[in-house]
């Protein structure tokens, strides 16, 4: 009897250990390194989440949703290309660790400067244009007039977009790629999201409660300031605080956690050549592998821009005050965090069991499915009315929730499977292509896609000044579906190339 019980206990222990290793496939020797990198990712993603929510809320409520398309083309895209060129040059002249400190410090300084110097002077300036005035006075150039008139909000929008491209895509992932072997990446990359993506939930909870927090601060300390201004200052101060925390964690990682051999890989500098920066980028884009990564990122950018622009306009129609707009966005982020953590656990097993290609295809399929539901509720009044009657609410709120679901599930799969498979695709490349190819594809790929989607929207609004997102939603739905098909094609082809590269690398 005792032997039978002992045998059952032994089997139960083995099954429990196997289940735990499946859910959390981190070896004990890797735990310190994993936790430190996850903490760094948490800080970076926390800033990214609230900065994106802040920039969108300010533009949609204080300027106009249509302005986003112009900012993506004439602000974000040129800035991303310039940042990529500068980064490639810096990798050839400056130690990689110092590049991280310099860039993060610059972002922190801007956040504080905007919060306490630029914002108070410009947010309620009498010289600011609104959409109706700009349409009458400037007609087809109304969006450009709004961007220039509201230059402070426009500048914050562009800088916030650069955080995700420069800090997350280049600085963080360049560091992780350099210190992580191919075999280890299959286990670690998805699991970085377990701790890192909790930033989604916490940042969402923070933003959801920002109206109550700022209201309490005003009454508690008898502040002579508008709630909107205080809200923006609090959010930017928190962003600066987490930026400083990321510097501290990165320093500790380099000083006490990462092996010296890994640091040598991280501080790799490509051999100097006589090629110009433009020739270098041209050489990189001639690689089929990098082109497919770029196509993957471009498809993501177009599809997200197409569906999110319309959804943001619907959110603006419901919540027209920045702090309440932020609160709704925060609620979406909070639930995104919950779903993301589940996706991390599931996604880790998907890539390990079914391979890179299966993991890469889930995000476009998921985006396509939920995006189609959103467009149906936006374009089909009958469907929206039926759902509204079931939920005892109005059709606008039904559309908001449908868009929120698309946003939640796309973010969950994007931050886990999409980002993980994308970063894994760089690992088997040679050091120079890994460094410069990543800089080119990451900075240009997504931003070019988003800018192309924005260019289509901006062209429509310029040629037809009376057009609205509601009036062009059917066209946007068709564009969205076509892009998702292209996205699936790129993921499938890159999967084949990745498998070949891994075999060659091994």
Q: pLDDT grade, residue 16 (50/70/90)?
A: low
**111-139 average pLDDT score:** 75
Q: Residue 191: is its pLDDT beyond 60?
A: yes
For range 388-397, the mean pLDDT: 78
DSSP 118: I
Predicted pLDDT of residue 282: 66
**Rounded mean pLDDT, 148-175:** 90
* Token pair listed for 187: 């286990």
* CA-closest candidate to residue 458, choices 467, 449, 446: 467
Q: How far apart are CA 280 and CA 183, in angstroms?
A: 29
* Pairwise pLDDT comparison (85 vs 193), residue with the higher score: 85
pLDDT of residue 427: 82
Look over the chain and give the mean of its residue pLDDT values, rounded to a whole number.
Answer: 83
Of 19-28, 55-64, 77-86, 242-251, give the lowest mean pLDDT range. Answer: 19-28
Which pLDDT score, from 0 to 100, does residue 9 have? Answer: 64
How many C-beta atoms surround the C-beta of residue 10 within 10 A?
10
How is domain 31-266+283-505 classified at the CATH fold level? Growth Hormone; Chain: A; (1.20.1250)
pLDDT at 312: 94
Residues of the chain with pLDDT > 90, as a percent, come to 39
**Over residues 475-491, mean pLDDT:** 94
Query: Which pLDDT belongs to residue 206?
Result: 96
Residue with tokens 């601060």: 217
Over the stretch 302-324, which tens digit does the pLDDT of each residue have?
A: 999 999 999 999 999 999 999 99
- Whole-angstrom Cα distance, residue 487 to residue 80? 22
What percent of the chain shows pLDDT beyond 70?
83
Q: Determine which of 90-99, 221-230, 292-301, 370-379 has the lowest per-residue pLDDT on average.
A: 90-99
pLDDT of 272 reads 46
> Is the confidence at residue 275, as pLDDT, over 50?
no
Q: Which residue has the tokens 């920066």?
A: 277
Q: How far apart are CA 243 and CA 199, in angstroms?
A: 13
The phi, psi pair for 270, rounded to 5°, reads -60, 150
User: What average pLDDT score do residues 189-198 get?
Assistant: 68
CB of 166 within 8 A of CB of 87?
A: yes
Which residue bears the tokens 């909870």?
205
Give the pLDDT confidence score for residue 72 in this predicted structure: 87
77: which DSSP letter? H
504 versus 194: the higher-pLDDT residue is 504
- pTM for the model: 0.81
Query: Taking residues 380-402, what's their average pLDDT?
Result: 80
Residue 19, CA distances (Å) to 13, 348, 359 in order: 10, 13, 21
Token digits of residue 37: 């990198």
Task: Dump the DSSP string for 397-419.
Answer: HHHHHHHHHHHHHHHHHIIIIIH
What's the pLDDT score for residue 124? Answer: 65
Tell me the C-alpha distance between 328 and 198, whole Å: 18
Query: Domain residues of the chain, as ranges?
Result: 31-266+283-505
Mean pLDDT for the stretch of residues 71-80? 88
pLDDT at 414 exceeding the cut of 50? yes
Cβ 492 vs Cβ 361: under 8 Å: yes
Q: Are 116 and 233 in contact (CB under 8 A)?
A: yes
Most confident of 177-181, 273-277, 289-293: 289-293
Longest CA–CA separation in the chain, Å: 91
Give residues with Cβ within 8 angstroms of 252, minimum separation 6. Answer: 36
Q: Does 115 have pLDDT greater than 60? A: yes
Query: What are the structure tokens assigned to 278, written together?
Result: 């433009």
Residue 125 — pLDDT band, cuts 50, 70, 90? low
What average pLDDT does the segment 217-234 reach?
92
pLDDT beyond 80 at 183 = no
Give the pLDDT score at 108: 98
What pLDDT, on a 0 to 100 scale, did the predictor assign at position 270?
A: 45
The yes-or-no verdict on residue 284 having pLDDT over 60 is no
Q: With 90 as the cut, is the pLDDT of residue 229 above it?
A: yes
The predicted structure's pLDDT at residue 406: 95
E-state strands within 67-132: none
Higher pLDDT, 352 or 166: 166
């Amino acid at each position: 009897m005792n032997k039978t019980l002992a045998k059952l206990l032994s089997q139960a222990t083995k099954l429990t250990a196997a289940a735990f290793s499946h859910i959390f496939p981190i070896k004990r020797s890797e735990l310190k390194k994993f936790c430190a990198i996850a903490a760094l990712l948490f800080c970076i993603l926390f800033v990214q989440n609230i900065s994106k929510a802040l920039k969108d809320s300010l533009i949609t409520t204080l300027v106009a949703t249509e302005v986003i398309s112009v900012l993506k083309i004439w602000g974000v895209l040129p800035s991303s290309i310039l940042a990529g060129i500068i980064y490639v040059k810096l990798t050839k002249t400056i130690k990689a660790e110092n590049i991280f400190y310099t860039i993060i410090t610059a972002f922190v300084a801007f956040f504080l400067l905007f919060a306490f110097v630029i914002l108070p002077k410009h947010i309620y300036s009498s010289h600011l244009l609104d959409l109706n005035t700009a349409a009458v006075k400037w007609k087809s150039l109304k969006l450009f007039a709004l961007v220039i008139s509201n230059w402070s909000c426009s500048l914050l929008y562009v800088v916030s977009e650069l955080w995700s491209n420069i800090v997350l895509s280049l600085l963080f992932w360049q560091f992780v790629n350099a210190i992580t072997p191919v075999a280890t990446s299959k286990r670690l990359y998805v699991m970085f999201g377990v701790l890192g993506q909790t930033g989604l939930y916490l940042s969402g909870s923070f933003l959801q409660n920002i109206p109550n927090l700022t209201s309490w601060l005003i009454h508690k300390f008898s502040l002579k300031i508008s709630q909107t201004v205080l809200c923006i200052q609090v959010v930017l101060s928190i962003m600066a605080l987490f930026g400083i925390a990321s510097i501290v964690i990165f320093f500790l990682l380099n000083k006490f956690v990462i092996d010296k051999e890994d640091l040598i890989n991280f501080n790799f500098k490509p051999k100097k050549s006589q090629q110009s920066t433009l020739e270098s980028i041209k050489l990189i884009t001639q690689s089929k592998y990098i082109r497919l990564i770029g196509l993957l990122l471009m498809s993501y950018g177009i599809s997200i821009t197409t569906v999110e622009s319309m959804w943001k306009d619907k959110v603006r129609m419901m919540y027209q005050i920045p702090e309440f707009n932020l609160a709704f966005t925060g609620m979406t982020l909070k639930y995104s965090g919950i779903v993301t953590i589940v996706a991390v656990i599931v996604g880790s097993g998907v890539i390990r069991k079914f391979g890179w290609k299966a993991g890469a295809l889930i995000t476009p399929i998921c985006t396509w499915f939920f995006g189609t539901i959103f467009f149906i509720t936006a374009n089909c009044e009958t469907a929206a009315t039926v759902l509204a009657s079931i939920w005892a609410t109005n059709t606008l709120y039904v559309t908001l929730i449908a868009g929120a679901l698309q946003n939640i599930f796309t973010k969950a799969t994007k931050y886990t499977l999409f980002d993980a498979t994308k970063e894994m695709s760089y690992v088997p490349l040679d050091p120079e292509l890994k460094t410069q190819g990543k800089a080119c594809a990451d900075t240009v790929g997504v931003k070019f896609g988003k800018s192309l989607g924005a260019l289509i929207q901006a062209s429509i609004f310029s040629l037809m000044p009376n057009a609205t997102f509601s009036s062009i939603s059917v066209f946007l739905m068709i564009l969205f579906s076509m892009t998702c098909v292209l996205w699936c094609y790129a993921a499938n082809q890159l999967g084949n190339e990745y498998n070949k590269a891994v075999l060659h690398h091994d």
